[in-house]
Amino acid sequence: MLSRMPLYRQSIGRAIWNNRSIKGMIRGWRLYVFILPALLYFIIFCYGPMYGVQIAFKDFIPAKGIWGSPWVGLKHFSMFFDSHAFDTVIKNTVSISLYTLIAGFPAPVILALMLNEVKGKFFKKLVQNVTYAPHFISMVVMAGMIIMYLSPNGIVNQLFEHAGIAKVPFLEKASYFNDIYVFSGIWQNVGWGSIIYLAALAGIDPQLHEAAIVDGATRMQRIIYINIPSLIPTMVIILILDAGGIMNVGFEKVYLLQNPLNLEASEVISTYVYKVGLLKAQYSFSAAIGLFNTLINLSLMLLVNKISRVVSKTSLW
């Protein structure tokens, strides 16, 4: 983008005028018009309030405003790092996140690929609509249902009994918590997540498939050699974006599924912050932890982005 010639070898004016980038900008001015609304949006609504990030480094006193509150540097961060719960909380958050990412990422892709192979329109629409419905069930009801179904006398264990398998104490062992959390999440979101992939699959040139059939390819082969490659750019981008949200294990679902028996696996950053906040409302403390989260998210995303740029030539920028 930048001119290769060192600037001190030319007069600055000539440099700017001849610069390829400036020419490109002028020629493509319409593209800037397209992006103007979004640009304005981000500047006003995102960068405008961004000074609030410093709350994490201050002792926020509302009457003094953010600028007037005293600066305390890394105090909140060290309070968090020194707390006894720190290790457990980080471990749980990271393990749940990674698990969700690894197990939850392929599921919508697979579902989309499977649905794409269905010929019957009615069946296809039926499965699509049914699988995307759970996304809309509120978390409160969802958690209540999970607890009911996995209770010792709940439907899952009842089925096990009928089948002659021993009952499983799902809710009582910390070791099951991650599985329950992740798989119920997959159940709830696989349909919704597959929508974007279905749209991508709909964009594949049918001539490619026709040519492959003529060449004698089986469905499986067509999936592997046509469908999946066409999904790769979308998949990679979504993977990178997901990596950027890795530390964001949401509060509501975990809190509702927590019980004294699974605490050692179920106490995550967001529930911890909530409990601290119950004892003493702290804007600054939660802001600090939020920032800490963010930095980890950011680092991981940059890492995944770099890897994918090398491996698949697709990346965020």
Partner 1 sequence: MNAMRETKLDQIFVAINTVLLSGILIATLYPLVFVISASISDPDLVNSGRMILFPKGISFEGYANVFKDSRIWTGYKMTIFYTLAGTIINLAVTIPAAYSLSRKDFVGKKVIIIMFMVTMFFSGGLIPTYLLMKDIGILNTIWSMLLPGATSVWYIVICRTYFQTNIPDELREAAVIDGCTDFRLFFSIVLPLSSAIIAVMALFFGVSHWNNYFSALVYLSDKDLFPLQLILREILVKSEFNAQMLLIGSSDSEALGKELRIAEQTKYALIIVSTLPVMLAYPFIQKYFVKGVMVGSLKG
Partner 2 sequence: MKKKVALLMAVGSTMSIIAACSSEPAKEAEKPAEKEDKAVSYMNATGFPIAKDKITIKAMGLKDPGGTEWNDLELFKKAEELTNIHFDFQLAEQSTYEEKKNLALASGEYPDVFFRSISVNDEEVYGKQGTFINLKPLIDKYAPNLKKRMEENKELKAAITATDGNIYALPYYVQTSTLNPHVSFFNAEWMKRAGMTMPQNTDDLYLLLKAFKEKDPNQNGKADEIPWSSFRFEAMNQFILPAFTGLSGGPVFDVKDDKVVFTPILPEFKEYLAYMNKLYKENLIDHEFLTQTAQQHLAKVKSGIVGVYNTSPTVLPPETTELQDSLEPITSPFNSKKVARAYSPIYTGRAAITDKNKYPEATMRWIDTWYAKSDEAVQGLSGTALFVGMENEHWEYADPEKKTYKFKSPVTSFQDINKKVSVSSYMPSYLEFMPYPSGSPLMEMKVKGVQKRQEPYMKSYFPTTARYTKEEGEKATIIETDINTYVEQMMTKFITGDEPIQNFDKYVESLKKMKLDELTAIKQAIYDRWLKGKNS
User: Which 141-170 positions form the footprint of partner 2 (CB under 8 A)?
Assistant: 144, 147-148, 151-152
Q: Taking contact as CB under 8 A, which single stretch among the options 3-11, 17-25, 70-78, 87-95 is the one that binds partner 1?
A: 17-25
Quick note: the x/- pattern for partner 1 over 173-202, rule CB under 8 A, is --------------x---x---xx-xxx-x
**Residue 263 binding partner per list partner 2, partner 1, none, with a CB distance cut-off of 5 to 8 Å that depends on partner kind:** partner 2
Does 172 contact partner 2 by CB under 8 A?
yes
**Site for partner 2 contains 73 (CB under 8 A):** no
Residue in this structure with the two tokens 């019980």, named with its chain if needed: 259
* Residue 123 within binding range of partner 1, rule CB under 8 A: yes
User: Of the candidates 5, 17, 18, 41, which one interacts with partner 1 according to CB under 8 A?
Assistant: 41
Site for partner 2 in 88-147 (CB under 8 A): 144, 147
Identity of the residue, 179 or 210, whose beta carbon is nearer to partner 2 in the bound complex: 179
Closest CB to partner 2 among residues 20, 275: 275
Token look-up 């099951």 returns 176
Task: Give which of partner 2, partner 1, none residue 228 binds (C-beta under 5 to 8 Å, depending on kind).
Answer: none
Instruction: Report in angstroms how near the CB of residue 109 gets to partner 2 at its nearest.
Output: 31
Q: Is 316 in the site for partner 2 (CB under 8 A)?
A: no
Name the minimum Å distance from CB 34 to partner 2: 20
Site for partner 2 in 257-296 (CB under 8 A): 259-261, 263-264, 267, 272, 275-276, 279-282
